[in-house]
Amino acid sequence: MTVLITGGAGYIGGHAVLAFLDRGETPVVLDDLSTGSRSAIPSEVPFIFGDVGDTSLLLQIIEAHKIDAILHFAAKIVVPESIADPLAYYLNNTAKTRALLEAAVKGKVRYFVFSSTAAVYGNPNRATVNEETVPAPLSPYGMSKLMSEFMIRDVSAAYGQKHVILRYFNVAGADPKGRHGQSTANATHLIKVAIETALGRRPFMNIFGNDYPTPDGTCVRDYVHVSDLAYAHLLALDQLRLDGVSRTLNCGYGRGYSVREVVEAVRRVAGTNFEVRQAPRRPGDPASIIASNDQLVRLGWKPELHDLSVIVQHALAWEKSCVIRV
Ligand code: UFG
């Protein structure tokens, strides 16, 4: 049986592809290349260019490749963009997930692993959030993912499909072997922006808000290495195949760094003192969000790349190698 990875040409999906290959399994990738890149997909991996909302294409793929599990990464992921253009997020992240689920049900796909987000929790007002924390998204992005979560649970209940919903905290870093990393143009994510600034590709960077109720006034996030996260998908799918128990799991390390601490880590690792400007708060930003990851750890998750310096080192190495390749 074969795994289908939607969004496998993208940042997180691409690392999942590598994780499968590293253990000797070849997945199939479906991607519309809207943000991902064809060159990110190793040549031995079957690639289909197409839309996750195209139910008939999906049915063909499921049949042709005997797909028994779908890992659904393809999505739009930028919080401020979702506030400016919510309909794009509800189409891309919610309506297309519905279409994909329909294909999965018609094609009798047994397992569905979904990329959800800590953004479903909104501004939780507690030190850490566990999976029972009542969701209250602050952005259309978080809401678009939460709506998909509800659909997935209803589909499992009605048609017997089994699922794992993984709620990612702040994903960063790059493949330790340098095979893949975050290549998205005009990235808005903190570590990526700070590294681009450190490398002189941006004249300065902004810190959005310094009056949050956090130790240094800047927002606190739980930064998780993308390769540890990719490995969590394999673990979750293996367990799902073993016991058939549907689950919702936080994917974070259970510790937080402020924006200032991240900037200092990038300065230290890159060895440069780039310019940072103070800017107003960014809409949709919770003050602090840190995972309780007990459930994932109980399943056997053993993250190895949790050191913030390691996350930054890998992201920096990837960013430098991108220039060499051009
Ligand atoms: N930030 C800056 N300057 C920048 C970029 C970001 O100060 O140039 C700040 C943001 O305001 C925020 C923090 O850095 O306080 C992290 O921002 P990111 O844009 O890196 O990430 P978000 O926390 O907004 O969102 C990310 C993912 C979501 C996911 C969420 C989970 O984009 O998909 O983490 O916490 F849901």
CA of 288 to the centre of ligand 1 (A): 11
d(CA 240, CA 183): 31
Closest residue (by CA) to atom 23 of ligand 1? 170
Ligand 1 near 205 CB (within 6 A): yes
Instruction: State pLDDT tens for residues 114-134.
Output: 999 999 999 998 899 999 999
Instruction: State pLDDT tens for residues 132-168.
Output: 999 999 999 999 999 999 999 999 999 999 999 999 9
Residues that are catalytic: 141
Please check whether residue 293 is in contact with residue 303, taking contact to mean a CB–CB distance below 8 angstroms.
no
Ligand 1 near 58 CB (within 6 A): no
Residue 260: closest CA among 224, 212, 226, 306? 212
Ligand 1 near 117 CB (within 6 A): yes
Question: Which ligand 1 atom lies nearest to the CA of residue 289?
Answer: 35
Other CB atoms within a 10 A radius of the CB of residue 280 amount to 10
User: If you search the block for the tokens 């993208």, which residue do you land on?
Assistant: 10
Instruction: State pLDDT tens for residues 300-326.
Output: 999 999 999 999 999 999 999 986 543
Instruction: Please state the ipTM of this predicted complex.
Output: 0.97
Question: Which ligand 1 atom lies nearest to the CA of residue 142?
Answer: 36
Ligand 1 near 77 CB (within 6 A): yes
d(CA 217, CA 58): 47
Ligand 1 near 221 CB (within 6 A): yes
Burial environment of residue 320 by CB neighbours within 10 A (0 to 12, 13 to 18, 19 or more): middle
What was the pLDDT predicted at 323? Answer: 64
Q: What domains are defined for the chain? A: 2-172+223-251 (3.40.50.720), 190-221+254-325 (3.90.25.10)
Closest residue (by CA) to atom 18 of ligand 1? 189
pLDDT confidence bin for 85, thresholds 50/70/90: very high
Pairs from 265-270 (Cβ < 8 Å, separation ≥ 24): 265/308, 265/309, 265/312, 266/191, 266/194, 266/195, 266/197, 266/198, 266/312, 266/316, 267/198, 268/309, 269/309, 269/312, 269/313, 269/316, 270/195, 270/198, 270/199, 270/312, 270/316
d(CA 176, CA 169): 20
Question: Which ligand 1 atom lies nearest to the CA of residue 205?
Answer: 8
Instruction: State pLDDT tens for residues 230-251.
Output: 999 999 999 999 999 999 999 9
Residue count (the chain): 326
Other CB atoms within a 10 A radius of the CB of residue 13 amount to 28
DSSP for 299-324, written as a single string: HT---S---HHHHHHHHHHHHHHHHH
Q: Which of 221, 250, 255 to mutate to test the pocket of ligand 1 (most atoms within 8 A of CB)?
A: 221
What was the pLDDT predicted at 283? Answer: 87
Closest residue (by CA) to atom 20 of ligand 1? 189
Ligand 1 near 208 CB (within 6 A): yes
Ligand 1 near 188 CB (within 6 A): yes
Dihedral of the alpha carbons of 116, 158, 62, 38, in degrees to the nearest 10: -10
CA of 190 to the centre of ligand 1 (A): 6
